[in-house]
Amino acid sequence: MGELLNTISLNNVYDSLSSILGVSKESIRYYIVKNKFDLVDSDINDVDLQKFFIFLKRDNNQEKITPMMDSITISHLTTRISDLEEDNATIYNLFGSLLQDTDLSLFFKEYGITFKEKNGKIEVTNDGKIIDWEKYHDKAPVAGMVKKRLEGYSITGVDKSINGFLFNGEIYKNRNVNHILRYPEILENILRVMKKDFAVYEWMKRATPYIITFKVNINDLVFDSCDKLNNKQKVYRIIKHCLIFLSKKLLTEWSENENPIIRLKDNLHVKSHDILKIRKVEK
């Protein structure tokens, strides 16, 4: 049975790494202090895990270091109109968010936009008319982004997975997601193409941003930059990210723009029993 890598806080990272590796927390801290200048400038592919494991073996009188990790926490930025509580919150992937009665789908419905699934794609109806995104490409280039996410292209397929960050913190400062503090990207994109972008401001007035931290099995997560890793390779990559993170935090050089983005496999949703923490973000 593996352990959870808890990345809710810096101390949680140290504590859970200690359990995962079967070594003392002090030993991990000492390695970070001793190697911080090498690690802080390292690319993920240059981090020498064998060096780390050899040190831990010697420092903890162990013959072998075998990481026992079967799940991690991921932190996800969202905006919701309704209040969120840990015992009733759910994170749907994009298709679920549009097809279920969610804050997002009900808000779209207020402005005459509805969704249904057809042949593994999302069909959008605006004021009773089915939308052909191809007809909007010249008038609104963002229509291509909407088509990619809802219908996909022959070489990419749909893009509906849940994304999040490996390390909890001020994730809204990451340049890739800071707009989500105000609205979901798909909301702004669709309303802009439909020339109903005035409704975006109504969402902004009514919605509250949250950071939701949840646990996910190693088997169910994907790194965008290398999506063919087996579970052992994922675990090793995550530990490398932890070493860089801990070094940068020690030297106060951590930036949220360096926070690794992780996505779940396409068809997955996050249920309330997997949600560990919900934090409201003050605007």
**Where do the domains of the chain lie?**
3-72+213-280, 90-161+183-208
**34 pLDDT higher than 70:** yes
pTM exceeds 0.85, yes or no: yes
Residue 86 has pLDDT above 90, yes or no: no
Q: What does DSSP say about strands 261-264 and 221-223: parallel, antiparallel, or unpaired? A: antiparallel
107-116, 142-151, 213-222: which range is least confident on average?
142-151
Rounded to an integer, the average pLDDT of 191-197 is 94
Confidence of residue 3 (pLDDT cuts 50, 70, 90): very high
**What whole-number distance in Å separates Cα of residue 218 and Cα of residue 232?**
9
Q: Is the pLDDT of residue 77 over 90?
A: yes
